[in-house]
Structure 1
Amino acid sequence: MNIETRIIEYLNKRGFRAYANVPATRPKSFLTVERTGGGLDNYVIDRPTVAIQTWGKKRLDASELAYSVRDAMVQMANEKDICKVSINTICNFPDLESGSARYQLVVDLVTI
């Protein structure tokens, strides 16, 4: 399973605008999903670490989106082949290149 694709599909079905990359034409608010690490146990259990970045016009917008995504991600533990979802951290993570407001969630999952 490609966990990035799975999370993007899951969040889009819940009304978020989730992408693998920052879209060329940026919506007012959106999020990006990127696997940043994690290991594989016995070729069956995957333990991905995923960064989800929430983007908004203002810091408050990005922050509120991050907490909405957090609540949705916790519920992802009820999905098929997803055994555990833990929110590792949520933090302000402004994009210095574009000057955009951005927050980042680091999410640890266990999947089969």
Structure 2
Amino acid sequence: MIEIVIRKYLASQLDVPVYLERPDTPPESFVLFEKTGSGKSNHILSATFAFQSYGKTMLETAQLNERVKDVVEGLLTLDDIYKVQLNSDYNYTDTTTKQYRYQAVFDIGHY
């Protein structure tokens, strides 16, 4: 399952916790990611993932987002991944909880 591969890699490269679902009591800074879509063509798999960076200030959150983008691009060093392409990234502050958040969306090809 590609989510496990990605989570394991991100957790080994980042100095903040990485989750597949939001914890009940989240830390001040963390990364949450989810698969938002996937496809298969000629037996080749691809998926779109949204990586959400959370922090205690807007600056820290933006900096974490930049680190996440660098680390996600490093997935290309893994045998399971053949393509990593940044689709978009943007400020995605949660207006309901007033928690700073950035989101980076990547298209990832995997085996």
TM tier relative to shorter chain = over 0.9
Shift of the alpha carbon at 1:101? 0.1
> Which shows bigger deviation, 19-28 or 97-106?
19-28
Give the equivalent residue in structure 1 for 2:9.
10
* Partner of residue 30, structure 1: 30
Per mean C-alpha deviation after superposition, the further-off stretch among 63-72 and 9-18 is 9-18
User: TM-score scaled to structure 1, two decimals?
Assistant: 0.91
State the Cα distance separating 1:45 from its structure 2 match: 1.4
**Percent of aligned positions that are identical:** 35
Question: What do residues 71-103 of structure 1 show as CA deviations (whole Å, max 9, x unaligned)?
Answer: 111111110120011111110001122110000
Deviation at 1:52, TM superposition (A): 0.4
1:6, distance to aligned residue in structure 2 (A): 1.8
Preserved contact between residue 3 and residue 48 of structure 1 (Cα < 8 Å): no
Structure 2, unaligned runs of 5 or more? none
Counterpart CA distance in 2 for 1:4 and 1:63 is 23
Distance 1:48 1:84 in 2: 10
Residue of structure 1 equivalent to 2:20: 20
The answer for the alignment partner of 1:110 in structure 2 is 109
Scaled by the length of structure 2, the TM-score of the pair is 0.92
| Count of residue correspondences | 110
| Amino acid across the alignment from 2:18 | A
Partner deviation per Cα, 1:43-79 (whole Å, 9 max, x = no partner): x311100000000111111110010010111111110
Considering only aligned residues, what root-mean-square deviation do their CA atoms show, in Å? 1.2
Task: Answer whether contact 1:54 1:65 (CA < 8 A) is retained.
Answer: yes
- Local SS of the residue matching 2:64: helix
Find the counterpart in structure 2 of residue 61 from structure 1.
60
Q: How far apart, in 2, do the equivalents of 1:40 and 1:98 lie?
A: 36
Q: Is the CA contact 1:40–1:47 (under 8 Å) kept in the aligned structure 2? A: yes
Contact in 2 for aligned 1:3/1:35 (Cα 8 Å)? no
Give distance in 2, aligned partners of 1:56 and 1:62. Answer: 4
